């Protein structure tokens, strides 16, 4: 059957692109080799949040006395994993419903680009069919990146996928890499009583974040009992005996760590092998498909979005890329009235759901200075927030960065209770080119964590009320 738009992959980039294509009047099909919703819904963003919620509940029980409540409880690891999987299954079924609602054909199997306008799909039973599409969007996502020194066997050296479905709780785990994935799993397993060591190659954990955030998180994680090694590199792993032995080169010489399991969380590799890119001459660089600002590849009729193109490997980025890509196609076809606005990748929020949570967007203080800005910085500690104190979560702070000359909002960096829910104010404010003056003239509700953004801006401009 011939389609207007064929999407290869059904993650948050692919399924969103397919829905938007259908909304704009395109006859649409989506090809998926495993589960609708891709990694995010099935093995990433969603089930990890379910695990982290279980960890949070257990932590609340452990500190129930602080709230005047007598409570006790023991974590049931198998039940925690089971709940996480059921949340993932429910969300995947939700995507299935959305496909039906939007009259999108779902074709299960592995898709390979064959020729212009053609994808060959091989189903699980080995049967093949050719699916034709005028516009083909590659949204094949990514997987856990492997390093030569840490070849994953799925049992002792694992990636994020195995980390959320282990048959039993390990007594000890080495987490290599301190990006969002490494930190979230490190926090989760430590909360349940597993001994956790985090190994980071760079000088600080969560290295993409503002330096103040890294310091605050390290302090909090160490307080929780997590061991952290920075400026450290795994040079080899021995899995021949019980568990794993990892040789680690540190600034102070080589050390050996022993644990039941090693989790490799050193980034994401794009799924671009074996899908026919070479056959068609679609250009790649450093393992990613090269695209223009509307996600067109160098070959007419082929597009790519999400983790398989350069940029941040985030679900919300993939979704927006899918929408921009489809709207650009629709505009060229006369189905959409205007050319979509390309994404501003400096205004993409990032969130890490450990405890305390991290949320950030825009320039870090260091990057703003590097870019030549004279800055005004405000930092408001959550220990001064009535809502945070009442909730019993006074750790962390909100940090804002403004351009001293024009009052432009350059960035916000937060660490603390529920801060992932309040980063959107900055994203929208920056998009609207809001100045500090306009935010301060907007009344924020009290008591809330979100008013701490306003409080931090007051600090930046020497108008602090609550400090």
Please report, for the chain, the start and end positions of each structural domain, with discontinuous segments joined by +.
2-144+269-332, 157-266, 356-460
Contact partners, residue 139, CB within 8 Å, separation at least 6:
7, 8, 9, 10, 11, 13, 14, 17, 304, 305, 306, 308, 318, 322
Q: Which CATH architecture has domain 2-144+269-332?
A: 3-Layer(bba) Sandwich (3.50)
Question: Looking at the predicted structure, is the pLDDT value of residue 155 above 90?
Answer: yes
Catalytic residue among 331, 413, 446, 466: 446
As a whole number of angstroms, the distance between CA 41 and CA 50 comes to 11
**157-266 and 356-460 agree in CATH topology:** no
| Per-residue pLDDT reduced to its tens digit, 119-145 | 999 999 999 999 999 999 999 999 989
Question: Looking at the predicted structure, is the pLDDT value of residue 1 above 80?
Answer: no
| Residue 361: pLDDT band with limits 50, 70, 90 | very high
Sheet holding 233-238, edge to edge: 233-238, 244-250, 253-259
| Residue 39: pLDDT band with limits 50, 70, 90 | confident
Whole-number mean pLDDT of the chain? 95
As a whole number of angstroms, the distance between CA 94 and CA 107 comes to 17
Quick one: DSSP state of residue 92? H
Query: How are beta strands 28-32 and 105-108 bridged, if at all?
Result: parallel
| Residue 230: pLDDT band with limits 50, 70, 90 | very high
Sheet holding 261-264, edge to edge: 157-158, 261-264, 172-176, 195-199, 227-229
Is residue 179 within 8 A of residue 265, CB to CB? The reply is yes
Domain 157-266 annotated CATH 3.10.180.10: no
| Residue 393: pLDDT band with limits 50, 70, 90 | very high
For the chain, the first-to-last Cα distance in angstroms comes to: 66
| DSSP-assigned beta bridge partners for residue 29 | 6, 105
Identify the CATH number of the domain defined by range 356-460: 3.30.390.30
Q: What is the pTM of this model?
A: 0.94
| Per-residue pLDDT reduced to its tens digit, 71-119 | 988 999 999 999 999 999 999 999 999 999 999 999 999 999 999 999 9
Question: Looking at the predicted structure, is the pLDDT value of residue 466 above 90?
Answer: no
Q: Catalytic residue at 316?
A: no
| Residue 467: pLDDT band with limits 50, 70, 90 | confident
Return the pLDDT at 432: 97
CA-only gyration radius of the chain, Å: 24
Return the pLDDT at 43: 85
């Amino acid at each position: 059957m011939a389609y207007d738009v064929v999407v290869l992959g059904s993650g948050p980039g692919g399924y969103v692109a397919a829905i938007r294509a259908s909304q704009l009047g395109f006859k649409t099909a989506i090809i998926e080799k495993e589960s609708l919703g891709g990694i995010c819904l099935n093995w990433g963003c969603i089930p990890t949040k379910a695990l982290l919620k279980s960890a949070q509940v257990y932590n609340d029980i452990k500190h129930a006395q602080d709230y005047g409540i007598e409570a006790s409880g023991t974590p049931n690891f198998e039940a925690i994993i089971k709940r996480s999987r059921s949340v993932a299954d429910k969300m995947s079924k939700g995507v299935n419903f959305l496909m039906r609602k939007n009259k999108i054909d779902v074709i299960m199997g592995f898709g390979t680009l064959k020729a212009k306008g053609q994808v060959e799909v091989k189903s699980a039973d080995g049967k093949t069919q050719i699916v034709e599409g005028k516009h083909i969007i590659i949204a094949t996502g990514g997987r856990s990146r492997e390093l030569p020194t840490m070849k994953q066997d799925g049992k002792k050296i694992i990636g994020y996928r195995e980390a959320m479905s282990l048959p039993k709780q390990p007594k000890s785990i080495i987490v290599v890499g301190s990006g969002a994935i490494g930190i979230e799993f490190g926090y989760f397993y430590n909360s349940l009583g597993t001994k956790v060591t985090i190994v980071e190659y760079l000088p600080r954990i969560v290295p993409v974040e503002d330096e103040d955030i890294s310091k605050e998180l390290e302090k909090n994680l160490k307080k929780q009992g997590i061991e952290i090694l920075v400026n450290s590199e795994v040079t080899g792993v021995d899995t021949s005996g019980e568990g794993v032995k990892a040789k680690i080169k540190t600034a102070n010489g080589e050390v050996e760590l022993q644990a039941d399991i090693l989790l490799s969380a050193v980034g994401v590799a794009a799924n671009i092998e074996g899908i026919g890119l070479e056959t068609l001459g679609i250009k790649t660089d450093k393992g990613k498909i090269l695209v223009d600002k509307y996600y067109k590849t160098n070959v007419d009729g082929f597009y790519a979005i999400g983790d398989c193109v350069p940029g941040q490997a985030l679900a919300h980025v993939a979704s927006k890329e899918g929408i921009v890509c489809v709207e650009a196609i629709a505009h060229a076809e006369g189905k959409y009235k205007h050319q979509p606005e390309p994404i501003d990748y400096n205004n993409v929020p990032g969130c890490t759901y450990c405890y305390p949570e991290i949320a950030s967007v825009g320039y870090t203080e260091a990057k703003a200075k590097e870019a030549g800005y004279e800055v005004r910085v405000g930092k408001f500690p959550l220990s001064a927030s009535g809502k945070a104190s009442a909730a019993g979560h006074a750790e962390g702070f909100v940090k804002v960065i403004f351009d001293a000359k024009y009052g432009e909002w350059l960035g916000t960096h937060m660490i603390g209770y529920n801060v992932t829910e309040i980063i959107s104010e900055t994203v929208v404010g920056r998009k609207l080119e809001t100045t500090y003056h306009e935010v301060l003239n907007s009344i924020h509700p009290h008591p809330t964590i979100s008013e701490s953004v306003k409080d931090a801006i007051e600090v930046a401009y020497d108008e602090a009320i609550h400090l």
